[in-house]
Amino acid sequence: MAVNITRQLLAQALQRLGYALLLPVSILPMAALLSRLGQPDVLDLAALALTGHALFSQMPLIYAVAIAFGLSRQGQGGLALAGAVNFLLLSTAFDTLAPNLHGDMICGLLAGLTTAIVYPWLSRQPLPRRWRWARSEVACLLLGAGVNLLLALPLALGWPVLEQGITLLASELLTTPFGAFCYGVLNRLLIPLGLHQVLGSVIGLGATNLQALASAQPLHAGYVAGLYPIILFGLPGACFAIWLHRQRMQRQPQGALLLTLALTSALVGITEPIEFLFAFSAPWLFLTHALLTGLSLAICSSLGIQVGSYFSAGLLDLLLSYSAGTHSFWLIPLGILFFVAYALLFYQLLGYAPLSLPSKPIPGSQPTLARVAPTDPQMLAIEYLKVLGGMDNVQAMSVCLTRLSLRVRHIDDVDQSRLLELGCLSWVVLNDQQLVLVLGPHASLIERQIRMLAERQSVPLGLTPNQPSP
């Protein structure tokens, strides 16, 4: 029992860390675009190139701020500033003790983590009345700074060995076909848990990737080229297979929805809306997707194709990384082969694995997906609240790019039959109190509107839907 509780708490902590890492990762495409547009062969604007380089060079500081803020609870936004201060203290002390190591990124991660841990830990300690002042923000900030300064010495002593290990893993093991295959499979399998960002951040601590980051070059060039055929071609092929399958079964084909998901994956590399269609309801499809991803990375590694990625291996990423890659052209014919492979395999497997898409027969006149205009976000948020059982039924929620995670009091009060009408792409019921809505690009907007409505009604909404109610 204790082992299960520990495992659950660890998984929840890693999930929150994965969500916190999304903010700095989402800055990378903007920095890459500014850097590329400023080059002499494009717009030849030095100011744009310098701006992009400045963002890349300050990524460790951005990681510290994002992790400290992302892991903090509501009302503790001041921890973002504490994360920045602690990073400056830790990195300065580390550089003084070990001046020739690439330690800025690990300093950023540790500063953010310690900042987010120290404050709630101190606030929970039972203290005598005369020591209550120690729970103030100033005392917590001082304690966090002291902890980071104490970390500098063991980090300076232990980091050389860890850096060599991570560099060996990233530059030697993962660049082999088998290593690339394992990385690709694990990267996809961690997506439902929100932990793929943690994996990418740990691997990115190698010296090769840190040097690429400092010079505004694409990351993980040796082993992530295989993601391009999957994201640009493979997952759109899966959407095509789903459309064909629904036509064969005389069900509503949802062509507009599937086309939107395919374009979202291919253009900007956001794959979660597609993967969440079958990650929970059809695990065999998801396992096939993970294995095909590993196969793509292994093939690219065998052929010597090396194209890095700034963000998520979509078309925008390919345009930015094409000139810096090796054998970049071969990603196109390889991607076409994976489009065919996904379409054929998924079409066959869909006969055995159901999907979370509603399976209504094709009527005489097909209704529209959404009855509420997306141009009115407040009304759309109100309609979602009605479907979720009202404001009193919602206990906590958090947003992660395209999906909204929720904890409700009673799952039976959620009218799942109306989610599709409001434009929800897909949804997954995790247990009796938790569900995930895949809303696409409107997820953040709807989350903000619901929080605004909750504040007007003085209803507290938590930020940790993956934690059980007290």
Q: Phi/psi of residue 360, each to 5°?
A: -90, 145
CB atoms within 10 A of CB 58: 15
Count helices and strands (H / E) in the chain: 18, 4
Clarify whether 400 is annotated catalytic: yes
CA dihedral 312, 310, 19, 154 (to 10 degrees): 140
Which of 107, 140, 239, 400 does the annotation list as catalytic? Answer: 400
Which residue has tokens 């196969």?
295
Q: How far apart, in Å, are the Cα atoms of 436 and each of 308, 380, 400?
A: 31, 17, 10
DSSP label at residue 253: -
Contact in structure between 11 and 1 (CB atoms under 8 Å): no
Tokens describing residue 193:
């848990």
Q: Are 433 and 411 in contact (CB under 8 A)?
A: yes
Tell me which residue has tokens 């990124």. Answer: 105
Which residues make Cβ contacts (< 8 Å) with residue 237, sequence separation at least 6? 338, 339, 340, 341, 342, 343, 346
Question: Tokens 């997306």 label which residue?
Answer: 374
Cα 160 to Cα 205: distance, rounded to the nearest angstrom:
12
Query: Are the beta carbons of 438 and 403 closer than 8 angstroms?
Result: yes
Q: Which residues are catalytic, by number?
A: 400
